[in-house]
Structure 1
Amino acid sequence: MNLASLDLNLLISLDALLRERSVTRAATRLALSQPALSASLSRLRRHFGDDLLTRVGNTYELTPLAIHLKELTAVALAGVERVFARQPDFDPAVADREFTILTSDYGLAVAGAELAAVLGDEAPGIRLRLHHITTGAVDRAAETLRTVDGLLLPHGFLTDLPHLDLYTDRWVCVVAADHPGVRDTLTMADLAALPWVLTFHEPTAFTPAARQLRLLGVEPKARIVVQSFLAVPFVLAGTNRVALMQEHLARRLSTGGGLRVLDCPFEPVPLVEALWWHPMYDRDPEHMWLRDRMAEVGRRIGQ
């Protein structure tokens, strides 16, 4: 294929069409006329030999090829934007740059304030987007990391990708402050008998300490499953349930008095929070600066 013969503006049109699944909405998104975008769609259909969008009732659906192209298009556009945004030198004091990091609510709650402070001190023009991490993003991490600057994620989920260890946390048990059956300690028998609040209870999304507990012969009795660590206190309040939580977060959430933090009756594997990125950013000056700032965040949290 001769890239010189292609109109790269079609990549922008393709991305909008696949995201919006509507010529009208895509035209509005791009501030173009509907006839102009319809012409682009026709050219794209000829190029791929595929309809890309097919009408089903009053809506349009993506063809199988279009579904495959949607993610590839996002990755390609991100790469083009990074190429043309590159400057010969990077000065954080005057840089006008946006970084995107995917993180859980735990990572945001523990590191967010420190990260905002570090960036604000040194780089007032830098913008930071903190998006919620999803199971799909982790499962396809190598592809995901082509479109964002990093994943904030503990060890145990990713392999064979560059990373920077930030800080170490430990797992603790949490119960309601007025839990009727728990005093100052928990036993393994308690963990086997009590009802549980579990986080991310899926094959590829899980709390490592809960998986470790199963290996020790205790199968938590899941009564509530939440996709958020910050939601745990709300479903523990006034109940006899128990949950696992990272100590840094649990201590923050227990300051209001509604939560009690207890040591686990087993030795949980430590949680090592890390920043993960794609190898193509290894020597990128802007990304190297970001990693240095993230290392400072980790040092502040670990103090």
Structure 2
Amino acid sequence: MTDHSLLSRLDLNLLTSLDALITERSVTRAAERLHLSQPALSASLARLRNHFGDPILARRGNTYELTPFALRLAEHTTMALDAARRVFESQASWEPNESAREFSIYGSDYGFTTVGRVVSELAAERAPGVRFRFMLHNPVVVEDAANRLRAADGMVIPHGILTGLPFVDLWRDDWLAVVSETNQEVGEAVSMDNIAQLPWVMTYQSRSAFTSAERQIQQLGIEPRVEVVVESFQALPHFVAGTNRIGLIQAALAPIARRLGGVRVLPLPFPATPLVNALWWHPVHNADSEHIWMRGLFEEAAAIVASGTDAGAED
């Protein structure tokens, strides 16, 4: 049986019922969420059980729990619903100032604080009904980017991590060191001895989530002594202030770190490779006129960030 003939025999409304059942873990609550009668949703559950050959919900005492199979379905169900929603929200002719579309973008707090914020401001001026949802990525999301980006509109992340997906370059940035104002072991500049001997606050530190400067330190023959790993660039200075630790942040975040107080932002004692930030997306969005408009907005916002004229980032 072909995929098309299988789909033609399915009621895609069952996807909505499945998502509600997985989310609520209760027929009663799922029915309320979908504004359906409980018998109607029970009938949908019976059809789902018959299709999958799995109970989906299993009674445990006075409550219901998702079966292991249903837990595996949960993420795919959400992505499928998002993709279906995009299909039916698309319009043959589209005017940004008349649209109420939501664009969903993965990234780090660094990307959102810089280019993401400027994108939101430009969109508010030109398409007040358009909304952006900025979602923090994590190592799991990054490793599964090719699948995640089927249902999302993009991911802001530097080169060197993702491959095989379309992208547009945004802006280049440099790495700087962050040390506490009270750190007496660091003078007017960070030395290689400081890099090797002082403890570190690092960001992400996984197979698919890392920074190029961290890798360079290792390539220089130094294995940093990591005391803290934090999945946030903006939070990093808080873990440095009042300690003898060192951290790394992007130059675009230096004004924010300085405004927090308690830290100094200094050049690194080696020529760190600049990072090239990019917006990545799935090829399914290539010809989407709304997505093309959004990509242009990111390019324009990135030019503002790169020029240093972004008032929100100034000291």
The structure 2 residue matched to 1:51, chosen from 51, 55, 68, is: 55
Moved more, 223-232 or 17-26: 17-26
Contact residue 166 and residue 281 of structure 2 kept, 8 A = yes
**Aligned equivalents of 2:107 and 2:29: distance in 1?**
30
| 1:18-167 correspondence runs (5 A) | 18-167=22-171
Q: Which runs of 5+ in 2 are unaligned?
A: 308-315
AA of the residue aligned to 2:156: L
> Separation in 1 of the partners of 2:249 and 2:188?
17
Tell me if structure 2 keeps the 8 A contact 1:197–1:241.
yes
Q: Is it true that 1:218 corresponds to 2:222 in the alignment?
A: yes
Query: Distance between the aligned counterparts of 2:10 and 2:171, measured in 1?
Result: 47
1:161-190 CA-partner distances (Å, limit 9, x unpaired): 001111111111111123222121111111
Does the CA-based 8 Å contact 1:199-1:225 persist in structure 2? yes
Asked if structure 1 preserves the Cα contact closer than 8 Å seen for 2:185 and 2:194, the reply is no
Residue in 1 that maps onto 2:313: none
- Looking at structure 2, the residues matched to 102 and 131 of structure 1 have their Cα atoms a distance apart, in angstroms, of 5
- Cα distance in 2 for partners of 1:203, 1:83 equals 34
> Which residue of structure 2 lines up, in the alignment, with residue 9 of structure 1?
13
Q: Say how many residue pairs are matched.
A: 303
1:208 matched residue in structure 2: 212
Aligned residue for 1:76, secondary structure, equals helix
Shift of 1:81: 1.1
Name the amino acid aligned to 2:10: L
Matched with 1:291 is 295
Question: How far 1:58 sits from its partner (Å)?
Answer: 4.3
The Cα of 1:252 is off from its aligned counterpart by 2.4
Which consecutive unaligned segments of at least 5 residues does structure 1 have? none
Q: CA deviation at 1:63?
A: 2.9
Q: Distance in 2 between matches of 1:24 and 1:234?
A: 45
- Identical-pair percentage: 49
| Distance (Å, rounded) in 2 between the aligned partners of 1:209 and 1:238 | 23
| Preserved contact between residue 103 and residue 130 of structure 1 (Cα < 8 Å) | yes
Cα distance in structure 2, aligned partners of 1:112 and 1:272: 16
Task: Please say if 1:240 is aligned against 2:244.
Answer: yes
Distance 2:251 2:279 in 1: 19
Report which stretch shifted further, 193-202 or 274-283. Answer: 193-202
Structure 2 residue identity aligned to 1:33: S
Q: Which residue of 1 aligns with 2:190?
A: 186
Residues 93-124 of structure 1, C-alpha deviations (whole Å, 9 max, x = no match)? 11121111111111111123311211112111
Native 8 Å contact 1:173 1:242 kept in 2: yes
Distance in 1 of aligned mates of 2:251 and 2:62: 51
**Deviation string, structure 1 residues 244-298 (Cα, Å, up to 9, x no partner):** 1111112322134422111111121211111110001001000000000000011
Deviates further, 180-189 or 48-57: 48-57
Q: Which stretch shows the higher mean deviation, 54-63 or 81-90?
A: 54-63
**Contact preservation (8 Å) 1:251, 1:261:** no
Counterpart for residue 267 of structure 2: 263
Q: RMSD of the TM alignment (CA)?
A: 1.6
Normalization by structure 2: what TM-score? 0.91
CA distance in 1, matches of 2:200, 2:24: 41
Listed one character per residue, the Cα deviations across residues 69-103 of structure 1 (whole Å, up to 9, x for unaligned) are 22332232222211211111111111121111111
Q: What is the deviation of 1:14? A: 0.8
Normalised to the residue count of structure 1, the TM-score between the two structures is: 0.94
Deviation (angstroms), 1:59: 4.1
Q: Is the 8 A contact 2:139 2:206 kept in 1?
A: no
Query: How far apart are the structure 1 equivalents of 2:178 and 2:221?
Result: 20
